[in-house]
Amino acid sequence: MIMLTTPVPFSWHTSILLPSLLFHIALAGIPRPEQFFDEQLVDHLFDDNRVRQQLYSQRFYTLDEHFLGPGHPIFLILGGEGAISPETGIFYPFIGDHLAAQWGAFVLEPEHRFYGKSQPLNSTAVKKVEENLRVKLFTPEQALHDALTLLDHVRGNQLGCSRDRASPEYCPIISVGGSYPGWLSAMARIMFPNVVDMAYAASAPMGFYSQQVDQFSYYNHITNVAETLIPGCKVATQSALHDVELAILTSDDLAATSIGMCEGTVPDYVFQDDDPNTRMVEELMMVVGYTFANDNMSDYPPSTATRFYKACETFTSQSLTSIEKVKQFLVERLSRKDDSDNSTRCWAMTLQMPSGPHATISSGDWSGVGTGDNGESWDFQTCTLLVEAIGFSKDSMFVPREWSLEWLTRHCQSRFGVTPRPYEIVQKWHFDDLVTYNVSHILFTNGLKDGWSVSGIKSNLSDSLVALNFPNGAHHSDLSHLGPNRNDTEDIEQGYKAISRILGQWLRDVKSAMPSISEVSVF
Ligand SMILES: *[C@@H]1O[C@H](CO)[C@@H](O)[C@H](O)[C@H]1NC(C)=O
Ligand SMILES: *[C@@H]1O[C@H](CO)[C@@H](O)[C@H](O)[C@H]1NC(C)=O
Ligand SMILES: *[C@@H]1O[C@H](CO)[C@@H](O)[C@H](O)[C@H]1NC(C)=O
Ligand SMILES: *[C@@H]1O[C@H](CO)[C@@H](O)[C@H](O)[C@H]1NC(C)=O
Ligand SMILES: *[C@@H]1O[C@H](CO)[C@@H](O)[C@H](O)[C@H]1NC(C)=O
């Protein structure tokens, strides 16, 4: 890790903050350095006494090698539910290496608050996280304010761009994101239309966050995709999982080693449950479900070498028993890579857990909450405003398990002492009804093989609310970590051209026809 700068410690005695912008400038010549914005407000919205006027250090990355100066666009790539690191750098080569190069654009990528090094409550006087304070600070709205505050500083103070749309020096702003950040990208345009000129939102779970998707859609879709991949996959998986369920329910030792688990890695809370066998089935089947789903999200480009295809191969195998199928499926995906001796390879259920007190595998996000600190933060987000109704139906290839708001509320209460508020954000931002609210200039893209596509905006709502759907695409395949390459399917290849054509047209509209808006201030 190359650390070019260290965050400057603040004196919390001084209450004067904004005129003295401390800013670390990237050293030239080293690509994609880690940087910190030390003037980020801990609280943009509430003026809470506990954190009043306190600042924290937000990490971000920039890419300036293509930037042709004031008058050229700025891509704002929104960070999401994970740390960004020098290895991830600028997430999307399609943006950094292609569109930015084509348009002479600057790229700015802030880390989302409460992930990675961007910890609003770490450096402040508030040492112990008070949950009701975290509820106020850890929201998509605060994260968008972070991004827009940083953007406003960078474009004016660093890049010399005008904030006046009529000026030749005006730098149009394009927000970008895939998955949760795809939704954030659309929200950036909806909330800050005077700053963000247009949004590119890939695989954005719009319908999940507006509570308009049936809870069984997600895993049903994954089941259907599996069945088209290898006919028979559905029934074979269903039957293997059912056998394993029975084996666990009737076992004295939860059948842990027979399904490839490493010794001693059943989490304590499973043993402490009133009914450990049932709890074990629930937690194991959650691991199976999201592991399948993760394979599906990355199943691009399609081939018989993808992990999704291989999963169906395992479950349709004629030579393995049900228990062996589940064991092989999990060990191949979840065991430690450095463990090369096949006979002793095993997977640890404890490593599937997010961090923090009262952590459980079945958490806020039943498509998989993630592990470690990122998993804990995402659990919190899906326990508060980003409620995702995702369950397993009896028509899916998984063991049926109904999701309910009651279950989620119990989980969130015991985990964080918080109550989920599924409707709050959609009632505030109306992203379930973009046309009525005159929203414009958002480009939605969807990979139709992705489970998340069940909640995407998939039709053109107006001339400037446009959807592009890719039959071969998985989870934001158009914003992959590889970028355009010769293995792309025809639809994705055409998609790159269409995306570039549509955003390019909107850019030309901004530069030539936007009315003068000299007071652009939302802060
Ligand atoms: C939190 O602060 C401590 C010291 O104050 C530092 O060592 C640690 O790296 C910080 N953690 C994050 C995630 O920024
Ligand atoms: C170990 O397992 C992998 C994956 O199943 C397989 O490709 C490989 O041939 C196995 N190696 C040995 C030594 O059995
Ligand atoms: C949308 O625009 C129309 C026409 O300008 C206007 O009458 C209407 O009030 C707007 N709707 C909202 C929700 O702002
Ligand atoms: C939406 O319109 C664009 C052209 O602007 C077109 O390429 C695309 O296929 C349309 N999307 C749908 C889902 O019809
Ligand atoms: C394209 O696919 C081939 C064969 O699967 C693979 O060897 C190659 O690495 C892939 N190229 C890229 C850029 O992914």
Residues 6+ apart with CB under 8 A from 148: 188, 192, 195, 196, 522, 523
Q: How much is the pLDDT for 516?
A: 40
Ligand 4: residue whose CA is nearest its atom 5: 466
Ramachandran bin of 255, using left for φ above 0, alpha for ψ from -120 to 50, beta for the remaining angles: left
Structure-model confidence comparison of residues 298 and 355, the more confident one: 355
Cα 437 to ligand 3 centre (Å): 7
CATH tag for 61-81+93-105+167-211+427-512 (out of 3.40.50.2300, 3.90.76.10, 3.40.50.1820, 3.40.50.970): 3.40.50.1820
- Is any ligand 5 atom within 6 A of the Cβ of residue 487? yes
Band of pLDDT at residue 25, cut at 50, 70 and 90:
very low
User: Does the pLDDT of residue 337 top 70, yes or no?
Assistant: no
Q: How much is the pLDDT for 158?
A: 93
Of ligand 3's listed atoms, the one at least distance from the Cα of 430 is: 13
**% of the chain beyond a pLDDT of 90:** 72
Report the C-alpha gap between 64 and 250 in whole angstroms.
Answer: 61
SS3 413: helix
Domain-wise residue ranges, the chain: 61-81+93-105+167-211+427-512, 217-416
Phi and psi dihedrals of 468, rounded to 5?
Answer: -120, 125
- Report pLDDT digits (tens) over 33-85: 678 998 999 999 988 888 888 899 999 999 999 999 999 999 999 999 999 98
Ramachandran bin of 162, using left for φ above 0, alpha for ψ from -120 to 50, beta for the remaining angles: beta
- Is any ligand 1 atom within 6 A of the Cβ of residue 372? no
Q: Give CA 38 to chain center in angstroms.
A: 24
> What is the torsional sign of CA 185, 186, 191, 192?
positive
Q: Give CA 452 to chain center in angstroms.
A: 11
Mutate to test the pocket of ligand 4, among 460, 465, 499 (most ligand atoms within 8 A of CB): 460
User: Does the pLDDT of residue 295 top 80, yes or no?
Assistant: no
User: Does the pLDDT of residue 333 top 60, yes or no?
Assistant: yes
User: Does the pLDDT of residue 453 top 90, yes or no?
Assistant: no
Residues with CB under 6 A from ligand 4: 459-460, 466-469, 498
- Report pLDDT digits (tens) over 308-317: 889 999 999 9
Q: How much is the pLDDT for 340?
A: 65
- Report pLDDT digits (tens) over 362-378: 999 999 999 999 999 99
User: Does the pLDDT of residue 24 top 60, yes or no?
Assistant: no
DSSP for 135-194 reads HHHSSHHHHHHHHHHHHHHIIIIIT--BS-TTSTTB--EEEEEESHHHHHHHHHHHH-TT
Strand partners, 41: 55
Residues with CB under 6 A from ligand 3: 436-438
Of ligand 3's listed atoms, the one at least distance from the Cα of 438 is: 1
Task: Tell me the CB-side half-sphere exposure of residue 276, using CA atoms within 13 A.
Answer: 14
Spell out the SS3 assignment of 415-469: HHCCCCCCCHHHHHHCCCCCCCCCCCCEEEEEECCCHHHHHCCCCCCECCEEEEE
Cα 436 to ligand 3 centre (Å): 7
Q: What element of type H or E holds 77?
A: strand 74-77
pTM for this entry = 0.86
Structure-model confidence comparison of residues 209 and 480, the more confident one: 209
Range name among 86-95, 213-222, 346-355, 426-435 with the lowest pLDDT average = 86-95
User: Does the pLDDT of residue 194 top 50, yes or no?
Assistant: yes
Mutate to test the pocket of ligand 4, among 461, 464, 466, 469 (most ligand atoms within 8 A of CB): 466
